[in-house]
Amino acid sequence: MVTSLLVVIVVLALLFDYTNGFHDAANSIATIVSTKVLTPFQAVLMAAVFNFAAYFFIKDHKVANTVSKIVLEHYVTLHVILAGLVAAITWNLFTWWFGIPSSSSHTLIGGFAGAGMTNALYMGANALHAVEMQYVLKIVAYIVLAPFIGLIIAYVVTILILHLCKAARPATAERWFKRMQLVSSAALSFAHGGNDAQKVMGILYVSLIASKVIKPGSVMPEWIPLACYSAIAAGTMSGGWKIVKTMGSKITKVTPLEGVSAETAGAITLFITERFGIPVSTTHTITGSIIGVGLTKRVSAVRWGVTINLVWAWIITIPISALIAAGVFALLHFFA
């Protein structure tokens, strides 16, 4: 049954997808902007186009399926979903305002899980019984694994490129890497759209089940992926310049060659995890890739003080989002 609350949830979910777009746009365009291959406007335009292009090619929605199963169906209500979305949007806007490249994916998952666990407590159950631990543990593990995989791939790709191009004239090589960065940045934007839009698709899908619009196991209505890819592309067009500065220059100085390596590594990591239905963070992935590039020069080329601050933001995102969602759910439950 379509209710006013369901309509509010759909609007908020797409609003979150929009904030995800402008929050994470920085991740996919930071290196191409910092190397001055494209202007900021050209970069966000290209990123938005390739964010949306994923709609036409990615049809299995494995990441959406994982997200929809994080909270067990018995504990999922529209109030749980609403509380999770409010928490996710709040944390996204807070970190965007202060230029912190936190994970939009993890704030959504943390908010959803936190609200579900709070609902379980109100129902007299163990909070941990409300979440599907195999999915939660996999997501938590990839907080570490995704940036590490990106780091290793970026390091190997950079070393390989340096070896292959050691005889090339610097000016010629620079010109070619600037062209290649257009391709690598487009691939990263495509992978970002394909991975991140699916998280909200999973939330909308479970919202329709909770409101009995569709039955569990039903095929996802086509308007959901279309709306989600549109929202994230629109958000990407809005950019996120504070985070661009952190990602593109504060972690380590990035050249066009290194931009190609970092973006290629990030795209490969996202393609692999999307294939296996793992909702990883684009932010974590590209950060690890940029660090991997910096390590090919020397360990001190990476600004570890900035990196440690980013890691702390990653660690606290899920628990803080869960706590915010718990508070919002408690308020909703009190006034219901």
Rg (CA), the chain: 20
Closest CA to 260 of 160, 172, 144: 160
Strand partners, 71: 131
Query: What is the pTM for the complete model shown?
Result: 0.89
- Res 25: pLDDT: 67
- The amino acid at 97: W
**Per-residue model confidence as pLDDT tens digits over 34-92:** 777 887 778 888 888 999 999 999 988 999 999 999 999 999 999 999 999 999 999 98
Which parts of the chain register pLDDT below 70? 1-2, 25-28, 101, 239-253, 299-307, 309
- Res 272: pLDDT: 93
**Which SS3 state, helix, strand or coil, does residue 211 take?**
coil
- Res 20: pLDDT: 84
DSSP 123: T
Closest CA to 95 of 105, 87, 103, 84: 103
**DSSP track, 141-170:** HHHHHHHHHHHHHHHHHHHHHHHHTTTS-H
How far, in Å, CA of 276 to CA of 299, rounded? Answer: 32
- Res 251: pLDDT: 42
- Res 92: pLDDT: 85
- Res 239: pLDDT: 66
The alpha carbon of 24 is separated from its chain's Cα centroid by a whole number of angstroms, namely 7
**Which SS3 state, helix, strand or coil, does residue 131 take?**
strand
- Res 36: pLDDT: 77
- Res 248: pLDDT: 43
